[in-house]
Structure 1
């Protein structure tokens, strides 16, 4: 064992090679110095060796990703490494698309790709389908690594307004898929928000949130006026001015059934007079009710109370019982009732008489054309038809598909999703759109049919 000289003691000089034991030869010192260098180098290299043993990585590198409904998302790029830094060239990467996204060529299954020398893959175009969720998630994998990336699907135009006279058909942008048309220009969204689409401004206008029922009608045939229940509270709103009034006296949890009219859970029917800020209890034991605006301004409530068909003019306060209409019918439109056996009745208050419009009726409604002329739209034994109460004339809706459902004045929703308006004057159908899921029709100016509807996207 080598001994260090004591403090203050001089070290002996090295002895020449071949000297006595106890002295270290020059060759031994040189040999020891040579061995010491690799030991130091190895210690310094150890962190580098640890880094080279890192795990493989896979990432979507150019997000976030956004695509419009029925549009293509391009340029999605994945980057792969062998250890977190070194590009994984010529590596197989598998990509899986969620429901709602497909490859642009229509293929829906997983696809495999090979990375380039930089460890990257640029995916071919990806398409958002009509049923895409708002944020579907893509997935990718390779040996030792996985990656995911959300895709925000926007601009899902699933709602439109159709003006039959002008043939204008603007998309109601800002209305999400899954919404339901509930009134003139008005949609109830899946999240409970009620939205009015202003065709002049070309934008959606929020009316209320937490809405359970609602509708919008045309006062004076031109002014949009909404009736709805928000958070259980009955409300009315002038859409043009934004003026909103709580319908005082209407019980919480009621259902909006027409202009300023609400049906309570216990069967009480209320009309709210915004001019006096008071509600009128119209009847109790009500099972169905519809509201029309005579001359564009006078609310007429057609309803069935205790099984009896009745009507009420909110302007005059007058009631009538629909003589000749059997018990147990359902109110389906202005002074119009549908019996369980399929007989459709129209009650003429002026003469206190009832007309059987047709038998075998599956759906029907009555609108006031021009504000005063009752016009019945119905389907009898699967055949769409129309009836002018004033003229007493019947007409088969030629060209409208059989077994359609009435959704408004002269307008039918066919089993295949086509929305069809029947032009009685020309005796011809007009197909407004396809893939339609809900629709309502109002007469702007009393004569111009405006269809508010939702539809599935067709790419």
Structure 2
């Protein structure tokens, strides 16, 4: 830090008298007079500069007295105060001050344009509440002006959390703190951020846990119904990770640039489908020419791959190593869930491996998936001719999802994303919908413990 030299700190001018022992009084020597004149010159110069300093003091000033400022999305910035003077010291009373808000801020009534205010007798203006946009994190500048002066103040706007977790059974709905807006829900408690980082949100600890960076695809499932296990591709390399322990294993044998399509399962660019067995640290080439694939966990632990290879619908049990061909399912379908296929003509098929037969669940289907409720009971969630519905394969019973908006999209077990952004869970037991949230942009659903639907989702906030 720089310090001004005070008068006391200045060294006294050296004269002949100060440099020699004192003597009796006598005539002042010529040398003494010369040294004294030399010291007096700076004093005269400083005096001459005084009128210039006085001129600068006379200019009007305007400043934000309590900045810089910060505000959270949807929050109000209150008591922003400006002070105006006529000359740097005297208050500029009854003076008009114009204030301009940057992008991301608005006046409380929603107006975003400039507004003018009049200073009080003390030359001050206290602005009314200013509201921040909910969905933008930014560092901006708020400006103000009056005749002869301008002022600016930095404002940091922090976006609201754009991700949440919803436990349908407990109705717990914690925000996933640390997940930025623009992220996408890709698995249980897991989000792929815009910068390519894959993050898991631990609801117990209330914090986000980074899993990997430079991720192109990924997901997280619940092994045994409770253990979070992530599968992803980072920097082109296929990996699996036990979220609880942090142990990460490179999926040996899986080609670089593959896509994660389910638990420990990857689809290579050439259409080869691989399952990685972490116990043996080896990969199994399940099939070639694969166009779509889904993975479910039978009994919570046995990976079952449902896929279409060369146009043929098939399934593979990774635990037993056994294959089945889904007889009766037409060629060219798309795997959409456990043993479930959607044909191009809108027919939805479920293949019963026990009987070796396929059943048509519905027609006119636009989206669908199948989860294993309780680990073994296939439960189909679908939309047919715009109408949301559910089907229990075990019981053979159908139900229209009453109250769920038409033309919604299936995002998971008994869960739909409506065209207006509402995320809706259908409670079949009560024959009633449950709106989980609004403004939702992405969502996935997993069954914790096999029966408790947990929705992981992102949304845009509305103040």
Give TM-score, length-normalised by structure 1: 0.86
Query: Which region of structure 1 is more displaced relative to structure 2, 202-211 or 288-297?
Result: 202-211
2:315 is aligned to 311
Say which of 384, 388, 395 aligns to 1:391.
395
What is the alpha-carbon distance in structure 2 between the residues aligned to residue 430 and residue 295 of structure 1? Answer: 27
Q: Structure 2 CA distance, aligned partners of 1:41 and 1:350?
A: 102
Q: Which residue of 2 aligns with 1:35?
A: none
Alignment of 1:141 with 2:145, yes or no, is yes
> Are positions 1:121 and 2:104 aligned together?
no
Distance change (3 Å), C-alpha of 1:50 and 1:342: same
- Equivalent residue in structure 1 for 2:354, among 344, 350, 353: 350
Instruction: Report 1:289-438 matches (<5 A).
Output: 289-438=293-442
Please say if residues 58 and 88 of structure 2, whose CA atoms lie closer than 8 Å, have aligned partners that are also in contact: no
User: What does residue 63 of structure 2 align with?
Assistant: 59
CA–CA separation in structure 1 for the residues paired with 2:94 and 2:449: 68
Distance in 1 (CA, whole Å) between partners of 2:87 and 2:216 is 55
Pair 1:205-2:209 in alignment: yes
Give the structure 1 partner of residue 29 of structure 2. none
Q: Give how far 1:135 is off.
A: 2.8
1:216 matches 2:207: no
| C-alpha contact 1:155 1:173 (8 A) present in aligned 2 | no
- The alignment yields a C-alpha RMSD, in angstroms, of 2.2
Provide the secondary structure at the position in 2 that maps to 1:108.
coil
Give the whole-Å Cα distance in 2 for the aligned partners of 1:165 and 1:265: 40
* Alpha-carbon distance in structure 2 between the residues aligned to 1:158 and 1:209: 20
User: How far does residue 281 in structure 1 lie from its aligned partner after superposition?
Assistant: 1.7
SS of residue in 2 equivalent to 1:51: helix
The answer to whether the Cα contact below 8 Å between 1:404 and 1:414 also exists between their aligned partners in 2 is yes
> 2:163 matched to which residue of 1?
159
Task: Look at both structures and tell me which one has the larger radius of gyration over its CA atoms.
Answer: 1
SS in 2 for 1:137: strand
Number of residue pairs matched by the alignment:
420
CA deviation after TM superposition for structure 1 residue 154, in Å: 2.8
1:189 matched to 2:193? The reply is yes
Compute the displacement of 1:73 (Å): 1.2
Contact 2:137 2:159 in 1 (8 A): no
**Residue 86 of structure 2 is aligned to residue 97 of structure 1:** no
Which residue in 2 is equivalent to 1:284? Answer: 288
Is there any run of 5+ residues in structure 1 with no aligned partner, and where? Answer: 1-38
Structure 1 CA distance for aligned equivalents of residues 45 and 159 of structure 2: 64
Query: Kindly tell me: are residues 234 and 143 of structure 1, through their superposed partners in 2, closer, same or farther at Cα, counting changes over 3 Å?
Result: farther
Contact persistence 2:185–2:443 (CA under 8 A): yes
Instruction: Provide the residue aligned with 1:11 in structure 2.
Output: none
Counterpart Cα distance in 2 of 1:188 and 1:338: 27
Q: Is the 8 A contact 2:135 2:160 kept in 1?
A: no
User: For 1:436 and 1:193, how far apart are their aligned partners in 2?
Assistant: 21
Verify the 8 A CA contact 1:155 1:174 in the aligned structure 2: no
TM-score by length of structure 2 reads 0.85
Gaps of 5+ in 2: 1-43
* Residues 236 and 258 in structure 2, CA contact (< 8 A), matched pair in contact too: yes
Question: Quick one: structure 1 residues 305 and 82, their matched pair in 2 at CA, closer, same or farther if it must change by over 3 Å?
Answer: farther
SS at match of 1:422: strand
